Structure formats: structure tokens, C-alpha cells
């Protein structure tokens, strides 16, 4: 936007020139630095002008910034020096980020680049204005229709990552966002601390993160795609109840709940009025043995899409239009279906 300067003299001329210079500034992406900024940080890192601190966690500070080269708003994650210098974490992180940078999926937050500045990894990510699931959960439980609307795109993104050999390992409500245009995006791939947890001395553990650890993470076993499936089960539980599946006042208490606690699935029927297929879904996702969970995100996605079809009335129903609401009813209906098939076979055989 330009301002036409007229011919003026003296003080009027100076004032007019000042206005000509200042008015366009309000159209710049970031004319000033937010007070939440860490004053010890430079206002500029490479071509990125830091504008606002968005948050901070164990994997570093997160800033909104302006990329003057590409002329776009981005997110910078500044990884702490202790993590950046950890060879195992660094290798894992950069390997994942390189793969992610070459991928494109509607339900995965974009990774633009990663570099090192003053001994710290600087990760440049897509800026996605919107609402995180962590924020959404505070508004109360979701109904089944809304839950499926959010769950399906999450699993589509996760399935795409798994198909490219990427395990998230750090799934929680705060790194899943519903963008302003309604698109659900899964973020923060490559930032799992599982393999370096015990070597970190100065980075405190956030109990809110521990709640979503998989059984394998707690047991210090290999993290696999089925580990992500367990973590997503903990997120889904919270979406449907607005309460965490696993609680405790310390890391040890929460991890004990993950390994040994008994989730009250019956409460999902009685208090939250969830349909039987949704309860069975959660039971499968949160099974302690990996072999008892969905074998893949593809299998999970097929299940969720079938559930959504049922909700929308597009699936084939039984002739009496009854939707089972408990595992026992599922069993009874299955037995009834088998008996009907047997009866049909008998009748067609006799008819010959």
C-alpha cells in the first residue's frame, strides 16, 4: 500500500515524510516484538524475524516468525543445547525431519527445514493458526459424531507417516490442531525423547506428557506404529470424556497406571452414553499387549470410517434397525446372524 506525498515545506514537509514512512509499517507481518519474547534471544535468526513466543516444552521454545526470504509466517522451534548436542536425539530428529520435509499430506503439519545456530537446532515448521485438541478438551466431551469427524483425519495423517516409515512417538492433544479452515493436522514428528530420556539431566518431565506414553515407552522398549496406536487411544479417551485415561501425582504413578491400572470401560456406557462400537474401539486401542491392538493404522482407519458410515446412516443395517450398544449385544447379534445364515442354508437345501 503506498501513500502519495505532496509538495510541502518546513515542518509540514517533515511530518508528511514521517507519515509516508510509518503508515506502511502497520501492513508488515510483524512490526513489533511481543513482550512474551525471551529478551536474551536475538530478534532475528537467519532470515527469520521472531515475533511472538507461542510456548515452551521439553523440546524447546516455540516462536512465531516471519521468513523474509519466502515471505511467509512460520513457526521456529529452538531445541535446547543439551538436546541439540545429544548425538542419538540429533540423528533421530534430523533423519525424521528430512523425511517429513519431502512429504506432503493434508493432515500433517509441514516441515520446511532444520539447521543449527549457536549450537542449537532450529526447526522451521508450517504456521497453522487454529485450536489444539488440548484447548478443545476443556470445553467438555465430544459426541460420537464430532469425535469421528476429528479422529478420522488424525489417523489418515498418521497412516501416511507410518507408510513412509515414520513413527511419531510423541502423540498428545497439544500437538494435534484443528486449523481455522477446519482441517485437522498432526504435528511435531521427530521430537520424541524416548531414546534419550534417561540421559537428560536438566530437562524436567511434564506430567501432562507422560499421560500419553505407550506401554512400550514406559517399559523402555522399541517404539513401533502400534505404540502410536496406544497413545492415540489415550487421546481419544480424553476427547470422549474430557478426562485423561491415566492419572497420577508423579511420573511413577502415571506410568504405573499405564502398566497396571484398570480403565473403567463400563463408565463409558453408563455416564458418557457412548455406543458399543466406540467403547470396543477404545478397548482395542488401549490394550496393553501390542498384539491385542489394531495391527496397523490402515485397519484402524477402515474401522473408524465404517463407524462414521453407521452414524451417517449409510451402512447396511439389520432388518430390525437396532444398533448394539454393549459387547454382549454385539455377541448376541453375531450369533443371531450365524443362525439366520444356517437357517437360510437349510431352507435352500430342502427346497432343492
Q: What is the pLDDT of residue 205?
A: 61
The average pLDDT across 15-33 equals: 40
Q: What is the pLDDT of residue 322?
A: 44
Residue 325 has pLDDT above 60, yes or no: no
Exposure string over 286-311, b if 16+ CB within 10 A, otherwise e: bbeebeebbeebeebbebbeebbebb
Residue 111 has pLDDT above 50, yes or no: yes
Q: What is the pLDDT of residue 33?
A: 41
Q: What is the pLDDT of residue 20?
A: 42
- Domain 26-127 listed as CATH 3.30.420.40: no
- Domain 129-316 listed as CATH 3.40.50.1970: no
CB-facing half-sphere around the CA of 34: CA atoms within 13 A:
14
Q: How far is it, in rounded angstroms, from Cα 19 to Cα 315?
A: 65
- C-alpha cell recorded at residue 230: 496406544
* The most confident of 29-38, 76-85, 242-251, 320-329, by mean pLDDT: 242-251
Residue reference for cell 459387547: 327
- C-alpha cell recorded at residue 34: 511481543
Q: What is the pLDDT of residues 183-219, one digit of tens each?
A: 999 998 877 766 555 444 444 567 878 999 999 999 9
The average pLDDT across 225-240 equals: 97
Q: Tell me the pLDDT band of 153, cut-offs 50, 70 and 90.
A: very high
With beta carbons less than 8 A apart as the criterion, state whether 58 and 45 touch.
no
Measure Cα distances from 178 to 100, 135, 229, 237, 244 in Å: 20, 10, 20, 18, 20
Q: What is the pLDDT of residue 41?
A: 61
CB-facing half-sphere around the CA of 158: CA atoms within 13 A:
30
Residue 273 has pLDDT above 50, yes or no: yes
The average pLDDT across 225-234 equals: 97
pTM, 2 dp? 0.78
Q: What is the 3-state secondary structure (H, E, C) of the chain?
A: CCCCCCCCCHHHHHHHHHHHHHHHHHHCCCCCCCCCCCCCCCCEECCEEEEEEEEEECCEEEEEEEECCCCEEEEEEECCHHHHCCHHHHHHHHHHHHHHHCCCCCCECCEEEEEEECCEEEEEEECCCEEEHHHHHCCCCCCHHHHHHHHHHHHHHHHHHHHCCCCCCCCCHHHEEEECCCCEEECCCCCCCHHHHHHCCCCCCCHHHHCCCCHHHHCCCCCCHHHHHHHHHHHHHHHHHCCCCCCCCCHHHHHHHHHHCCCCCHHHHHCCCCCHHHHHHHHHHCCCCHHHCCCCHHHHHHHHHHHHHHHHCCCCCCCCCCCCCCHHHHHHHHHHHHHHHHHHHHHHHHHC
Nearby residues of 128 by Cβ (< 8 Å), 6 or more positions away: 75, 109, 177, 179, 185, 187
Q: What is the pLDDT of residue 66?
A: 96
Q: What is the pLDDT of residue 328?
A: 55
What percent of the chain shows pLDDT beyond 90? 57
Q: What is the pLDDT of residue 59?
A: 83
- C-alpha cell recorded at residue 124: 522451521
Q: What is the mean pLDDT of the chain?
A: 82
Q: What is the pLDDT of residue 351?
A: 60
Q: What is the pLDDT of residue 171?
A: 95
Residue 53 has pLDDT above 50, yes or no: yes
Q: What is the largest CA-CA distance in the chain?
A: 111
Query: Any idea which of 22-36, 103-117, 119-133 has the lowest mean pLDDT?
Result: 22-36
Q: What is the pLDDT of residue 333?
A: 60
The average pLDDT across 112-137 equals: 93
Lateral strand order in the sheet of 120-126? 44-45, 48-57, 60-67, 72-78, 120-126, 111-117
Query: Any idea which of 40-44, 262-266, 305-309 has the lowest mean pLDDT?
Result: 40-44
What percent of the chain shows pLDDT beyond 70? 76
Q: How many Cβ atoms from other residues are within 10 Å of residue 122's Cβ? A: 21
Query: pLDDT higher for 154 or 97?
Result: 154
Amino acid at each position: 500500500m503506498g501513500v502519495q506525498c505532496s509538495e510541502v515545506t518546513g515542518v509540514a514537509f517533515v511530518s508528511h515524510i514521517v507519515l509516508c514512512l510509518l503508515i506502511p509499517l502497520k501492513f508488515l507481518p510483524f512490526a513489533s516484538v511481543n513482550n512474551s519474547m525471551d529478551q536474551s534471544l536475538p530478534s532475528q535468526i537467519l532470515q527469520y524475524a521472531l515475533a511472538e513466543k507461542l510456548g515452551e516444552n521439553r523440546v524447546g521454545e516455540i516462536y512465531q516468525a516471519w521468513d523474509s526470504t519466502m515471505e511467509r509466517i512460520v513457526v521456529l522451534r529452538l531445541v535446547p543445547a543439551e538436546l541439540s548436542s545429544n548425538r542419538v536425539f540429533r540423528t533421530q530428529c534430523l533423519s525424521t525431519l528430512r523425511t517429513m520435509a519431502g512429504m506432503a499430506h493434508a493432515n500433517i503439519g509441514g516441515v520446511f527445514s532444520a539447521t543449527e545456530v549457536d549450537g542449537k537446532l532450529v526447526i522451521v515448521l508450517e504456521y497453522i493458526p487454529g485450536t489444539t485438541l488440548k484447548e478443545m478438551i476443556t470445553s467438555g466431551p465430544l459426541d460420537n459424531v464430532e469425535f469421528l469427524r476429528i479422529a478420522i483425519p488424525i489417523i489418515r495423517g498418521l497412516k501416511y507417516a507410518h507408510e513412509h516409515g515414520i513413527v511419531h512417538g510423541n502423540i498428545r492433544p497439544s500437538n494435534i490442531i484443528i486449523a481455522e479452515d477446519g482441517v485437522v493436522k498432526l504435528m511435531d514428528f521427530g521430537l520424541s525423547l524416548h531414546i534419550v530420556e534417561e540421559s537428560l539431566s536438566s530437562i524436567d518431565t511434564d506430567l501432562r506428557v507422560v499421560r500419553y506414553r505407550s506401554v512400550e515407552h514406559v517399559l523402555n522398549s522399541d517404539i513401533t506404529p502400534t505404540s502410536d496406536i496406544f497413545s492415540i487411544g489415550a487421546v481419544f479417551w480424553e476427547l470422549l470424556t474430557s478426562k485423561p485415561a491415566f492419572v497420577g501425582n508423579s511420573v511413577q504413578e502415571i506410568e504405573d497406571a499405564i502398566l497396571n491400572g484398570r480403565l473403567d470401560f463400563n463408565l463409558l456406557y453408563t455416564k458418557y452414553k457412548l455406543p458399543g462400537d466406540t467403547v470396543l474401539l477404545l478397548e482395542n486401542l488401549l490394550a496393553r499387549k501390542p498384539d491385542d491392538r489394531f495391527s496397523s493404522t490402515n485397519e484402524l482407519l477402515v474401522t473408524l470410517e465404517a463407524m462414521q458410515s453407521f452414524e451417517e446412516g449409510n451402512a447396511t443395517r439389520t432388518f430390525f434397525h437396532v444398533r448394539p450398544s454393549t459387547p454382549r449385544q454385539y455377541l448376541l447379534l453375531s450369533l443371531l446372524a450365524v443362525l439366520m445364515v444356517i437357517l437360510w442354508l437349510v431352507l435352500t437345501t430342502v427346497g432343492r
